[in-house]
Structure 1
């Protein structure tokens, strides 16, 4: 497949963010002598998922999301900690407790030799930059756009246009977006008019309102497209 530009998502695509979240939460609450159990973890994930969906729909700003998830968590579970303090500590831990999926770096190396490679991630600047630095991933990307830094986010077509502008690339027919999120990665690509590859390692059912160009379950499947 003659793609000249390959755009990747980061969380849950290249990064095992589920594992990273669990470790970061455990380290954060350990400061308060609280062991993170299933209830805490799932309550956090419920609120976090809701708020990121709100962010994609521009119903909440990123600066508010980072504390609101902990404000809701504390309210529901009866914790007395300061949500802002929790957010600060958690984000430091999240940046340091990275977990790159096995084979992710090898995939990037392979793509780098064939195409221009970009990263478009809806995330906090400090967290994503720490991850890129700790795993020395910056060298694989010709452009990196982090929503918390550039002020744009998926699925807004503007962030995809920004990536192509920075790459000095105009032919949308030779661009593909690869990511795990139907609502941000796949829909964002659709909104912008480029191909998309839904990374679905867990074999989830596809919501029929989304139409990825390809659906894959492994990095090997991704490589087979090129």
Structure 2
């Protein structure tokens, strides 16, 4: 167990329930336009979206290419006549209202804030993430919020973490822990940045070779054992 003074916290899948926010935003926006949204179209969207975000993590495409390609590609694949870029803007507005907390998220942030400085580290869209963090009430526990869109780099790139570290007063890598649910983004990012990692995996999973995980937790309140 480390004597941590700084916690870097992921948002989606760690503090906020992105799957629920996404589900609601998709249903509302599709219904508004009268477009069909059955299981096959949802599956198609998730596949396209996941592929694009992985390309973004690897630095192969920009954030703008992710968000302004996914519905264009989906509509083309599903035979839907519509403006994918305009649809994306409306979808982001709905997504920004999706402040669904992961069970225990607010409580663990309140607890950890007694002992550590908390910072948000997220690859999400800036205006959407700020809105969700504000509406969820999590923003008041944070010393800072770092969104990849603002940094110009993204997790797991070392440059993203260099950007963050330069903006944390008295930063010490040995006293910093990153907590997140993504092995490829959060944990690999922590490895690239030379800081300790805590993998939040409520459903379990395998750790691939070459990825170093210092701690694994299945519930957020287990962070108390690492901090207090």
TM-score > 0.5 by shorter chain: yes
SS state at 1:145 partner: strand
| 1:76-104 deviations in Å (ceiling 9; x for gaps) | 11111111011001100000122111210
Which runs of 5 or more structure 2 residues have no equivalent in the other structure?
Answer: none
Distance 1:114 1:88 in 2: 39
Which runs of 5 or more structure 1 residues have no equivalent in the other structure?
Answer: none
Distance 2:203 2:53 in 1: 20
Does the CA-based 8 Å contact 2:117-2:143 persist in structure 1? yes
Stretch of structure 1 that moved more, 31-40 or 91-100 = 31-40
In structure 2, what is the equivalent of residue 139 of structure 1?
A: 140
SS state at 2:35 partner: coil
In structure 1, what is the equivalent of residue 185 of structure 2?
A: 184
2:2 aligned with 1:4:
no
In structure 1, what is the equivalent of residue 163 of structure 2?
A: 162
| 1:182-225 deviations in Å (ceiling 9; x for gaps) | 11100110001000001111112222231211111111222221
SS state at 2:111 partner: helix
* RMSD of aligned alpha carbons: 1.2
Stretch of structure 1 that moved more, 93-102 or 172-181 = 93-102
SS state at 2:121 partner: strand
Deviation at 1:64, TM superposition (A): 1.4
State the TM-score, normalized to the length of structure 2: 0.95
In structure 2, what is the equivalent of residue 123 of structure 1?
A: 124
Distance 1:26 1:98 in 2: 16
Deviation at 1:43, TM superposition (A): 1.3
State the TM-score, normalized to the length of structure 1: 0.96
Does the CA-based 8 Å contact 1:56-1:153 persist in structure 2? yes
| 1:85-127 deviations in Å (ceiling 9; x for gaps) | 1100110000012211121001100111101111110011111
Distance 2:213 2:9 in 1: 14
Residues 1-80 of structure 1: matches in 2 within 5 Å?
1-80=2-81
- How many pairs does the alignment contain? 226
Distance 2:158 2:144 in 1: 16
Does the CA-based 8 Å contact 1:22-1:41 persist in structure 2? no
